[in-house]
Structures are given as C-alpha cells and as structure tokens.
Amino acid sequence: MAYNEMFENRAQEIVPIKAERVFDSCSDKDCLADLPVTLDCGVLPCQYTMVKCKNVWVENVSIDIEPLNFNRGFYSVDITYTFRVELCVYEKMTSQPVKLYGTAAANKNCVLYGSDISTTSFSTAEEYNSINFDSCTAGEDIKLPTATVQVAKPVVLEAKIGNYFWGHHHHHHHGCGCDHNPPPPPPCGQQPMPLGNQGAEGVEMPNPNTKMVYLTLGLFSVIELSRPVTVLAATYEYTIPTKECHNISENPCKAFDKLSFPTDEFAPQTLPADAETNNCNCGCGCN
C-alpha cells in the first residue's frame, strides 16, 4: 500500500521541528587550468617526456568564511580544494610507464547570503562537521553560518610536463638540461629537489630547469550557506514499514536464473538523431 493511501484519511498535526535552512546556494562549473602537481617523490626526473593522468579525486576541502562589512548578512566563502593525483609517466611513447603520486591544490571564492544572528545555541547532542572553518576576521558577536560544499569527481581535461616557471612566464619553455644519454633516475623516494640561486630572503629557489607536471581539471560544485531554524510542519502518526525483510538463502544458481538477460549491455548505443545536428558547445577546444 502506498504511503499516500495509508495517510490520506488520517488527521494531521502541526509540530515544530529543527531543520537546517539553506539561505543561499550556488552551483558552478570551473575549469582549473595548469595546476602544478607536487609529487610525493620530489621532482620529476628529466628523462620523462610524457604523462597521463590515470586518476584524480578530491582529497580535502578547506573553507574559510568571513562576513562582508559593507553588506550585512553576506559572507565571503574561500574554498581550497586539495586533489590527490595518480600519474603514469613515460620516457617515450613505446616505453613502460612509471606510476607516480602527487597532490595539487586550487582556490575558489564566492559571496553568498547567510543571514545574521547574534545568539549562541548549546546542545547535548554532539555535532560533527567535516568542513574545516577558520575565520580570522569575524568578531565574537557574529555567528557564522554553516557552509557545505558538494563536489563531483574531477574531470581531467589535460596533463602535460613543463618547467617549473613554465606557468609563470607566459608559458616560455626552457631546455631541461638533460644529457643526450642520461643515466637511469634514482628511486622515486630518493630523488632530491634541485636547487638554484637563493631568493631575496636567502631561501633556496627551485631550479628553473626543474620539470613539473601540470593538470587542467574540470570541476562541478554546489556551495550552500545554512543555519538551524525552527519551523512548523504537518506530521502524521508514527508508522512501521509494511515491507518484510528477505534473506537470500536460496541456491545461487536459481537466483541467477531469475535475472533477465542484459540485452542492452551487448547492443552498441547509437547517437541520438537530435545530438547529431547539435552544435559542439562543450567549451573544451572541440574540433
């Protein structure tokens, strides 16, 4: 019996409930171009000339919320994404790949309305928050809203090898300084970080001939600001599910016989007619 049939003749009751109200939200499609990858092993040996990104995922999201002084109730949300990257690098196209791991990071900012409140709530219930908040400018009388970030698995748009300063000098390419017959690279964990001249504060700066991996990622995200509120809602009496729990105790081959043959898995899908005439609007350098 459907729930609407079960409850259509039962009297409703108006009760207050606690809920997280979303005051503002936004969705975005970001193209994060030329993100430098920090390899776990230090630097990429210059013998490697090709790279493919085998896998990438969001490892951590850090959020900082700050109220806007000139617009009450609005907040600046600064987001730092940390990506974990799995790479395959090659000396040449026909050589065996070497698997390397690293991390990359990207920043994003947006302004959302989160309302304002000056009261503080205390509860015996332990609250868990997986988002890291660290606001250094908010006053003690300003109670920050809760920020939530939902992010899909990143899409790898491009992976390439460039020099350390490649992304900071109009994409100029420098020679890697390799010999014509370079020796085999040391084990990845023993690869040192080559250093160049000292910077203005006496800190060793990376050699401009150092090779690095750069990624361009596509990222879909949804960002929300919410606060706990008390609202009135119509409720029905408590109920117990009518569906019974069944255990799979029969013969596995008999259970398999009940499955339909997956015809669609063996039938190649054709392009829909409307898609064949549709213009390419992917925005990713389509031909």
Asked whether residue 26 is domain-assigned, the answer is: yes
pTM of the model: 0.67
CA 2 to chain centre: 38
- Report yes or no on 273 lying in a domain: no
Mean pLDDT of 52-67: 94
CA distance 181 to 163: 20
* Domain that includes residue 167, residue range: 17-232
The number of distinct structural domains making up the chain is 1
pLDDT for the residue 54: 94
Rounded alpha-carbon distances, angstroms, from residue 141 to 21, 69, 116, 137, 176? 21, 13, 10, 12, 55
Residue 56 belongs to some domain of the structure: yes
- Partnered with residue 87 across adjacent β-strands are 53, 100
pLDDT value of residue 31: 94
Query: Is position 147 within any domain?
Result: yes
**Separation between Cα atoms, residue 42 and residue 206, nearest integer Å:** 11
Is 152 domain-assigned? Answer: yes
pLDDT tens for each residue of 184-204: 444 444 444 444 444 444 444
In a domain, 6, yes or no: no
Establish if 197 belongs to a structural domain.
yes
DSSP 108-122: EEEEEE---------
